[in-house]
Amino acid sequence: MKEVESLKTPVWMQRIEYIANPVGYWERAYRADPDAFWAKGIDFGCPLMVFYTPEAAQEIIENRNGHLSTTSFDSELKAIFGDSSFFTLEGIRHQQMRKLLIPMLQGKHIQAYGQLICNLVNDVMQIVPAHQPFSVLEVAQDISMQVMIKLLFGSYHQERYQQIKYLMVEMVSLFAANIAGIPLFFRFLQRDLGSISPWRKFLQQRQQIKELIYREIAERRARLDLKWEDLLTLLMSATDEKGNALSDEELLGQVLSLLFTGNESTAASIAWSWYRVYCDAEIKARLLAELNSLGNSADPLDIIRLPYLSAVCNETLRMYPVTMFMIPRLVKAATKINGRRVDSGVLITVGTYLIHQREDIYPDPKIFNPERFLDSRFSPYEFLPFGGGIRSCIGGELALYQLKLALATVVSHYQLELTNHRLVSPQRRNTILIPRRLKMTKHTAL
């Protein structure tokens, strides 16, 4: 049985390469072995074994022999979300939390937010100065954060929500740059080293957010109105099979998780979609023609069903998946994955980015080609931008909904232009890939 090998460079060098150049790190691993490798540059307390074939993805996600379990590894996720988030829970409690949350983030619940999302995109775009370069990622972050604030809290206590928004953006941005992000990658730096240390600032910001959210929860418990349709109200009114409601700590964990994941990954996807559409005049013209076919004041539900819009968004998520790899699984008993031996106690994961770059699945994978999603159907083990199985992204449907409507609204109503047409390379920001220096200019409205 073939063993999984690691890269030949020292672990400390792999660590630096993963932080500074994650795409290069992944692609070097793929050249060394087209199926799997030991990712010793990614620290979850022990080396991480990464598989990136559809066959391995299916085995890991389905876990038919029961040898794999989810794990709440000690990581930056706990530092941000705490112990009660659906991200950091495991086992039965994790499954219960997912069961409670998923109906709130899918189907009719999110469809009701369609016009709200379109309106928020317009609100943000209208205040972007005309004829001046703007940061696409910052505008996309503003859109995605405004959407999540609205969905979570509604319009109650607007000033408090803007404080939460500001602190959340600051906290996330603190660890976005490679240097500032080091405390999240090296645990010995995850300590308070004085007033100027990034870790102290992070802890202070997180405490401020906690106090604001706890204050909101306390006031709502005193005057809970079940007619409100925001996510926090739904969470507060929900109960498990035994009739138990969520505690304040559990509510905090879910709110922080939704704010963080609903902002970072969705903002990156929105920014990448704008970049790719405005890079190619033919793609933009075809997309605009499809959108115009719906006429003025199109229903958001009709917009999201458009085939070419869907293909553009799927191709965006293929090239720049929400996460570079799935949340790891812990091997409970020695097993084999795709013919490779894996020992007990090992952490394994699916390399989403590398599967999406496989030429045997996606010919010319470096070329942005929406038509591939019109001409072919891909299995959930070949195209998995939101992961898969019991650790898949619970907000994936909402994220795709936002991505489609944000792209459609901008292409339909605004004349944008790339500031320059140089290739924008993906850069790491926490666990996602972003177009860090992408700038565009807004001209007159269409």
Q: Which residues are annotated as a binding site?
A: 393
Contact by Cβ (8 Å): 318, 413: no
Question: Which three-class secondary structure string do you get for the chain?
Answer: CECCCECCCCHHHHHHHHHHCHHHHHHHHHHHCCCEEEECCCCCCCCEEEECCHHHHHHHHHCCCCCEEECCCCCHHHHHHCCCCCCCCCHHHHHHHHHHHHHHHCHHHHHCCHHHHHHHHHHHHHCCCECCEEEHHHHHHHHHHHHHHHHHHCCCCHHHHHHHHHHHHHHHHHCCCCCCCHHHHCHHHCCCCCCCCHHHHHHHHHHHHHHHHHHHHHHHHHCCCCCCCCHHHHHHHCECCCCCECCHHHHHHHHHHHHHHHHHHHHHHHHHHHHHHHHCHHHHHHHHHHHHCCCCCCCHHHHHCCHHHHHHHHHHHHHCCCCCCCCCEEECCCEEECCEEECCCCEEEECHHHHHCCCCCCCCCCCCCCCHHHHCCCCCCCCCCCCCHHHCCCCHHHHHHHHHHHHHHHHHHEEEEECCCCCCCCEEECCEEECCCCEEEEEEEC
Q: Per the annotation, where are the binding residues for heme?
A: 393
